[in-house]
Structure 1
């Protein structure tokens, strides 16, 4: 499934971790390269503005919205990027693509298509992957309650990743699925997302 419409941000600069740590709800200081965590941006009253995942790349941080909420995360965070802060934030919503592969055979398909075995990865952990010269990330995520693997890479490599999945997919019963199926599986699994479940009107327990 193509999830490229989700918001994606890349944060670089000397103060990238210090700055992001100061404005979001979760502790990202312990993250080592290859690890990720959930976090959010809250109002001064503790109400939810946006909900996302943070991935530690080493030279940068990558944020991925959990849900389709447009430009909310980028617009909210840039208000805190004050003059003199040694951090830069790039809006990658259109320049990076995102594919989701779900199901019990997802690890086998990913291994066949990309030569990487994701089964040993913990949720929100990732490994680098090269797809026809396009450097991306292969991430173990939580979307459907099944085994979920995301491929996050520059948009010009999206077709190559898509084609590889389909060229190796038949032995694993690969089938396309859409937004309605994803939403049903997400709700059944009990995974919250920004928008319907997490917003300024709903305070998480």
Structure 2
């Protein structure tokens, strides 16, 4: 039996096509991936991301627990601020990538990937130390993502909160959004400005309808997983299971910025520090096809007659109409302009290494 979010009942109203996504029945598209992608880049899109997991971490040792568990420096967070981070295994591979929210002194919320909730909770419990309590609030929490250049204008119609003053990776707690209490965070997974709203599962449908009504004149459309994937891919935001896994370290994935080796010990630090000192054997790079063909996940990548890695994500960019991908390859072949070959249906098709992200919004 597939799991459903509190917003499942509204999917049919918008003609959603649903798929099995890691055990969840979720919309891959509503009106079409291209249209939804364009709306988020140019106007605004609304995503149901209620399948994501939320875990409260409380107690006098919450900070030291999170410092040991994650790669980023949690001590730098002020209340009302969040950070992107990773949990690693001792071998440097990634358990999951996540957001860490500081809700108050000794009070945090972790936002984790839906398909990893059970695994992550087991990992956290196995590494508990001191006065720390973990509370899984995933089932009672719904999460909506309002993304795109018009997001602030739309949300302003429903709340008096000073959204203009909310910087990226900051959040307001207990925001009144047309009578609904929400945590409103200036975060997202699209490469655009926008907000993620955390509310009670019971308020999800009402908030969804309020937002769509408020955004009607601004071109707001419901958006599914298909557009979410193409948007995050163009912005080079990693997807767990593709750019990140138990066999891929944060440094190989190009996420060194979120690994603070100087903060003290954390799980996986020794291996990651060794890679920082000696270089990583593999590197995640952008590729663009020179010959015809679309690179897809797990397609082998070759150079000089030998396999040097594989594609992690690839598609035709909806924004630029170019055939591009991300590939994890031997570091020796990672310089921009290097000629590579992607095996597509048994044929080796010419490509080259290019700079990423493929898309960067104009601030």
The alignment's TM-score, normalised by the length of structure 2, stands at 0.53
Asked if 1:156 is matched to 2:202, the reply is yes
Which of residues 219, 224, 239 is equivalent to 1:173? 219
Shift of the 114–73 alpha-carbon distance from structure 1 to 2, 3 Å rule, reads farther
> How far off is 1:17 after superposition?
1.6
Assess if the C-alpha contact under 8 Å between 2:145 and 2:188 holds in 1: no
Aligned to 1:103: 148
> How far off is 1:34 after superposition?
0.6
> How far off is 1:26 after superposition?
1.4
Aligned to 2:108: 61
The aligned length equals 203
Assess if the C-alpha contact under 8 Å between 1:14 and 1:87 holds in 2: yes
Asked if 1:74 is matched to 2:121, the reply is yes
Assess if the C-alpha contact under 8 Å between 2:212 and 2:220 holds in 1: yes
Q: Point out where structure 1 has 5 or more consecutive residues left out of the alignment.
A: none
| 1:120-139 residue CA offsets vs partner (Å, 9 max, x unmatched) | 43322111213466533111
Assess if the C-alpha contact under 8 Å between 2:180 and 2:207 holds in 1: no
Taking only aligned residues, the RMSD between alpha carbons, in angstroms, comes to 1.9
Q: Point out where structure 2 has 5 or more consecutive residues left out of the alignment.
A: 1-46, 252-363
Shift of the 36–108 alpha-carbon distance from structure 1 to 2, 3 Å rule, reads same
| 1:66-114 residue CA offsets vs partner (Å, 9 max, x unmatched) | 57534232221111124xx211111122111100011110010111122
Which of residues 235, 246, 252 is equivalent to 1:200? 246
The higher radius of gyration belongs to 2
Name the one with the larger strand percent: 2
Q: Secondary structure at the match of 1:197?
A: coil
Alpha-carbon separation, structure 2, partners of 1:81 and 1:134: 34
Which of residues 165, 184, 190 is equivalent to 2:230? 184
Assess if the C-alpha contact under 8 Å between 1:39 and 1:52 holds in 2: yes
